């Protein structure tokens, strides 16, 4: 592993730390905002979390001042390139709804999220979906997925 790869690996691990903290923070925010009816807490926790995301994005754009993409670039972008925001909102809603208050702990939630990510990622890679290069499923990948799923079972049930 060279120095650049190590930096990228550490940044990815730091993103994982942020995701675990985000799920815990949003779960607690939900608990603090839950009133009547019960569904109101997760909805408001998701809303306020995404407002924080928007503020951070606006600050980054104001500081970095990147040039806007061309109209042609926007129009030629495939529809599925635009689903990251809504998918991110669903992840926030899941964390706000499921973490804490006797539902799932942070470790259980993240283990299940990682398990789902890994299963989906192997399929995306195998078929080269969403513009990814094809990377066929191998025995080693199946073993890796099985080990992660085993880890999820251990975290959830043992």
Q: Which residue in 58, 46, 38 sits closest to 22, CA to CA?
A: 46
Q: Which residue in this structure is represented by tokens 């080693």? A: 140
Question: Residue 132 has what pLDDT?
Answer: 93
Mean pLDDT of 5-24: 90
- pTM, whole model, 2 decimals? 0.80
Alpha helices by DSSP H, the chain: 3-33, 40-64, 71-75, 84-98, 106-127, 139-157
Tell me, what's the pLDDT at 37?
66
- Judged by DSSP in three states, 36 sits in coil
Residue 137 has pLDDT above 80, yes or no: yes
Contacts of 53 (CB under 8 A, 6+ apart): 88
Distance of CA 2 to the CA centre of its chain: 27
Give residue 82's pLDDT.
93
Q: Residue 125 above 90 pLDDT?
A: yes
Over residues 56-83, the pLDDT tens digits come to: 999 999 999 999 999 999 999 999 999 9
pLDDT digits (tens, 9 = 90+) for 87-96: 999 999 999 8
Domain ranges of the chain: 1-103, 105-158
């Amino acid at each position: 592993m060279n120095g650049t790869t190590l930096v990228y690996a550490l940044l990815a691990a730091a993103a994982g730390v942020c995701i675990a903290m985000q799920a815990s923070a949003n779960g607690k925010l939900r608990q603090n905002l839950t009133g009547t009816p019960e569904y109101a807490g997760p909805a408001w926790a998701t809303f306020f979390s995404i407002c924080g995301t928007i503020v951070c994005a606006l600050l980054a754009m104001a500081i970095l001042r990147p040039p806007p993409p061309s109209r042609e670039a926007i129009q030629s972008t495939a529809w599925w390139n635009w689903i990251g925001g809504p998918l991110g909102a669903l992840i926030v809603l899941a964390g706000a709804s499921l973490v804490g208050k006797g539902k799932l702990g942070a470790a259980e939630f993240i283990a299940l999220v990682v398990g789902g990510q890994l299963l989906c990622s192997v399929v995306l890679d195998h078929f080269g979906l969403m513009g990814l290069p094809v990377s066929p499923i191998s025995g080693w990948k199946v073993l890796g997925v099985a080990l992660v799923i085993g880890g999820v079972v251990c975290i959830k049930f043992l």
